[in-house]
Every structure is written in structure tokens, then in C-alpha cells.
Amino acid sequence: MFPDYEFLGVDFNPVHIAHGQKLADYAGLTNIRFEEADFVELAKYWPAEWGRFNYVAAHGIYTWLDVPVRQALVKTIELATKPGALVYLSYNTMPGWASTLPLQYLLRCWQNTENWGSVAAITDGKKRLKALLDAKSGMTTALPKMSKRLEAMESQDPAYLVHEYLHDGWQPIWFDQMVDAMAVAKLNYVGTAALGDDVIYKILPEAQKAILREYKHPIMREMMTDVIVDKSFRKDVFSRGATTMWPSTKDKILLDMAFTLLTKPKESEYKFSLSLGEVSGKADTYGPVADSLSAGPKTIKQLIEVTGIPLNKITEALTLLMHGGYVVLHNPIANKKLAKTLNRVIITEAANGAPYKYLVAADIGAVISVKDTDLIMAHETIGSRNEKNSTELAEILLLKLKSFNKGLVKDGEPLLTRDTMLPYAISLADTFLNETSKKWKKLGIV
């Protein structure tokens, strides 16, 4: 997507480095490299030939590390960033994890004492936790949110559960603690990268707004917002020496930002999942914005002219529409060849069993999430001389899934027999052939 930029991927695990490099080599990407490295060692010596960067992203890393490694990560970021650089960090935060601290500790404790492997630690550990819940133990009764966390674990990816719960260094932190930690690297808090959180204050009940108005310090006010919504995960942006953006410059950049519509909700119900729960957008604002974008990409200035909706409401609507995945920034890629080549590599690898979930939409300059079933069907149809109907494609899909020891899930329920899977597979194939594949071509994915 950004052929004029240089990228560097760093990881302690050589398997991840080899995987990333293989994917880049297959796609012919020459502006990214991968280095196997340890944050503790990098904190002592950052190779000059690696350069210093304008952007750093560390997703789901910080609160899973032991304290010395956390400190080394911060030092590494300091050495790797240029003045003015932006740093993205996502991490587990308090107080949302308060009810789950004992759950995580017990899972890890049982794993060590029972000499369980990772899978057994999760599967057998969940059984023990459920038994405590069913027996109405004092701990589970005193921490009611624990039952919801345990219920959610039933449908979550085992790989995620291992990452989330089986680290000795796993320790959620308060927002102000992260701010203090980043200050060591001369990084200051800029704002949230979770777009929906930008509008939380506006939709809080008046009693909760009144509480927040008591806190004048911006960091403390942000932390108290976490308390009110019981936040458990943050996505934050920090800057190493942010410069002031003058009002007229800011206004011009904002008005010239262009957006495109990915999808419209059924029955014009605009619902968004935020930290405090689900909220709905007003149809008289969100409808006209979506309708206008359905005719083609538009800047904020054009949206104001077409809809007559004022700037503040337009930006709020776009913020939530982006958060909900309905809208993305419109920034077409000039050289689409590399993006499409990478997509073909991802599709091919997914058809061989790789668990990829994203593709590049070159015509709008965005990354979109995709289903594994669609990736498999794309591999069988894109560029094929022999057109397949829905039934033929469904048969191929089921054979592929069987070879991966996988099945289909409909409405949250696994389909266990071929008689139940085939009709659903045919409907998936029909949707892919008549809707998804056409949409992918329109977006510049293939």
C-alpha cells in the first residue's frame, strides 16, 4: 500500500520472522525487511543501519511482557523513533480486567503444577473454572464478570487464549501508568486509535458526565472514563515531540479528507459496539451520509455540501461509521500491481491452509477483513478458465475444509454432517459468485 515507505518487522521468535520474510518474498515486496531480535539487547544497541522511523506499532505486546522486557521495549522505541514520530500501542488495561486477574493466575498456575501443554491448560483449565462457577464458589460469586469472560472463551480462537492467559508477565495496567512509562522515551499521549472511543463522552448519561467534569487533568480524566466504562483494552497513540497544527491548516486537512463506503447496514440500522456497550446512530444523520457515499467517494467538504449536515455532526458520524467498518478513508494506491500480487499470494496460501483474514483493496487504499471460505473459493475461481456453479464450488470448498480438519459454522453453531454443510456451502458459494467476487473486483482486490 505504501511502496515509497520503508518497513521493519522485529520479533524474538524466528518462526515469525521467517514467515513474514517468506510472504514478502513471494509477493515481491522489497521495501520491508524482518529481523530476529530481543528487546533487551536492542535497548543496549540499536543498529544504525536499521534507521530511525516515523511510525512504530506494537500491538498486543506490552502487558504480556515481564517488567524488565517492558522497560527494554520502551528504550527500543526511543532509539528507533525520529523526533515527531507517532507510536501506536495496544494493551490490556484496568479496571476492566479486575474480575479476570484470578482466572488468568489460576490457568497459568495449573499449567505449571500439572505440566500441561498450552492446549490442555486452556481446555482443562476452563473445565475447572466452570466447576467453580457451577458450585457458586466465593470467588466466582464475588466477581460476577468472571462468568462472562469464561463464556466468551468458548468461542474464542485457542491461539488467542494461549497468548492472552498463559504468560507469566501478563499484567494489565492503568492508563496513567502507561503514560508514565512512555514519558521515559519522551513520548506524550496524543489520543485513542479506537475511533469509537472518541465519542464516548458525548453519549454518557449526565450523571457520569458530571463526574468526569470534576477532573481537570486530561490524563486523570481519561483514566476516570476507563473507570466509568470498565475498559479492559486500550489502543493509544503517542508522539515523540508533537508539533502544533495551526487552525487553518487543520481545517483544510480535515475538509479535504475523503471517505468511501464499504457496506450499508440492513434496514438502515446503524449500531456500533463501543466500550460502554452498543449504541445507535440517528437515521437522519447517518442515512444521508451513507447514501451520499454510496454514490462514490467524497471529501468531508463535499459531504457537507451534499447533505447540509454541519461539520461536527459529519465528523462524529464518519468516526462511528469507520469504527463500525462501514466506511474507510479513500486513498487509492497509485501502483496497484504489488498490492494485487500480495493478495494473490494470500489467497493461494489460504487455499493451502494458512489462517489469513485480510486483503488489500487497492482502488480505495484500505485493508479489509475477509472470510477464510471466501479466500478458498477465490483461489478456485479467479483466473480460472472453467466457470463453476454454486454447487461445484461448494463441493470444492467442503473438500478443502475437510483436508484442513475444519468445518462450517452457521449462526454460531457448528455443522457436523455433510447433509447440513452442503446446503450452507452452496449458499456461501452463491453469495461469493454473485456478490463478493464482484465487490472484490470493484475494490481492486483482484
In terms of domains, do 78 and 156 share one? no
CA angle, 175 as apex, 173 and 177 as ends, to 5°? Answer: 65
In terms of domains, do 373 and 425 share one? yes
In terms of domains, do 325 and 356 share one? no
Task: Give the per-residue pLDDT at 155.
Answer: 81
Mean pLDDT of the chain: 92
Q: What is the pLDDT of residues 75-88, one digit of tens each?
A: 999 999 999 999 99
Task: Please tell me the distance from the alpha carbon of residue 367 to that of residue 356, in angstroms, as a whole number.
Answer: 12
Lowest mean pLDDT among 87-96, 161-170, 252-261: 161-170
In terms of domains, do 260 and 146 share one? no
Q: Is the pLDDT of residue 385 over 80?
A: no
Task: Please tell me the distance from the alpha carbon of residue 210 to that of residue 334, in angstroms, as a whole number.
Answer: 49
Closest residue by Cα to residue 199 from 324, 284, 317, 289: 317
In terms of domains, do 424 and 343 share one? yes
Single residue among 329, 348, 368 that ends a domain in this structure: 329
Q: Is the pLDDT of residue 267 over 70?
A: no
- Which cell goes with 122? 486452556
Task: Give the per-residue pLDDT at 24.
Answer: 95
Q: What is the pLDDT of residues 12-30, one digit of tens each?
A: 999 999 999 999 999 999 9
* Domain assignment of residue 374, given as a range: 336-443
Pairing of strands 277-280, 298-299: unpaired
In terms of domains, do 364 and 417 share one? yes
Task: Please tell me the distance from the alpha carbon of residue 382 to that of residue 371, in angstroms, as a whole number.
Answer: 16
Task: Give the per-residue pLDDT at 417.
Answer: 87
Q: Is the pLDDT of residue 51 over 80?
A: yes
CB count within 10 Å of CB 344 equals: 19
CATH number of the domain enclosing 314: 3.90.930
- Which cell goes with 427? 449458499
In terms of domains, do 252 and 141 share one? no
Q: What percent of the chain has pLDDT over 90?
A: 74
Rounded to an integer, the average pLDDT of 285-306 is 93
CA angle, 273 as apex, 305 and 256 as ends, to 5°? Answer: 25
Single residue among 223, 239, 255 that ends a domain in this structure: 239
Closest residue by Cα to residue 58 from 88, 32, 36: 88
Q: What phi, psi does 56 have (nearest 5°)?
A: -135, 135
Instruction: Please tell me which residue, 87 or 200, carries the higher pLDDT value.
Output: 87
Task: Please tell me the distance from the alpha carbon of residue 42 to that of residue 53, in angstroms, as a whole number.
Answer: 15
SS3 of the chain: CCCCCCEEEEECCHHHHHHHHHHHHHHCCCCEEEEECCHHHHHHCCCHHHCCEEEEEEECCHHHCCHHHHHHHHHHHHHHEEEEEEEEEEEEECCCCHHHHHHHHHHHHHHHHHCCCHHHHHHHHHHHHHHHHHCCCHHHHHCCHHHHHHHHHCCCCHHHHHHHHCCCCCCCECHHHHHHHHHCCCCEEEEECCHHHHHHHHHCCHHHHHHHHCCCCHHHHHHHHHHHHCCCEEEEEEECCCCCCCHHHHHHHHHHCEEEECCCCHHHCCEEEECCEEEECCHHHHHHHHHHHHCCCEEHHHHHHHHCCCHHHHHHHHHHHHHCCCEEECCCCCCHHHHHHHHHHHHHHHHCCCCCCEEEECCCCEEEECCHHHHHHHHHHCCCCCCCCHHHHHHHHHHHHHHCCCCEEECCEEECCHHHHHHHHHHHHHHHHHHHHHHHHHHCCC
Rounded to an integer, the average pLDDT of 99-115 is 91
Question: Angle between the 158-165 and 101-114 helix axes, to the nearest 10 degrees?
Answer: 100
User: How far from each other are the two terminal CA atoms of the chain, in whole angstroms?
Assistant: 14
In terms of domains, do 255 and 324 share one? yes
* Cross-strand partners of 35: 10
With a CB cutoff of 8 Å and minimum separation 6, the contacts of 3 are 31, 335, 338
Single residue among 329, 361, 385 that ends a domain in this structure: 329
Lowest mean pLDDT among 5-9, 93-97, 278-282, 422-426: 278-282
Task: Give the per-residue pLDDT at 418.
Answer: 87
Q: Is the pLDDT of residue 363 over 90?
A: yes
Task: Please tell me the distance from the alpha carbon of residue 269 to that of residue 275, in angstroms, as a whole number.
Answer: 19
Could you tell me the pLDDT band of residue 265, with boundaries at 50, 70 and 90? confident
CA angle, 160 as apex, 163 and 105 as ends, to 5°? Answer: 50
In terms of domains, do 376 and 432 share one? yes
Q: Is the pLDDT of residue 416 over 90?
A: no
In terms of domains, do 103 and 89 share one? no
In terms of domains, do 377 and 274 share one? no
Domain total of the chain: 5
In terms of domains, do 277 and 340 share one? no
Q: Is the pLDDT of residue 310 over 90?
A: yes
Q: Is the pLDDT of residue 412 over 80?
A: no
- Which cell goes with 411? 449462526
Q: What is the pLDDT of residues 122-172, one digit of tens each?
A: 989 999 999 999 999 999 898 888 888 888 888 888 888 888 889 888 999
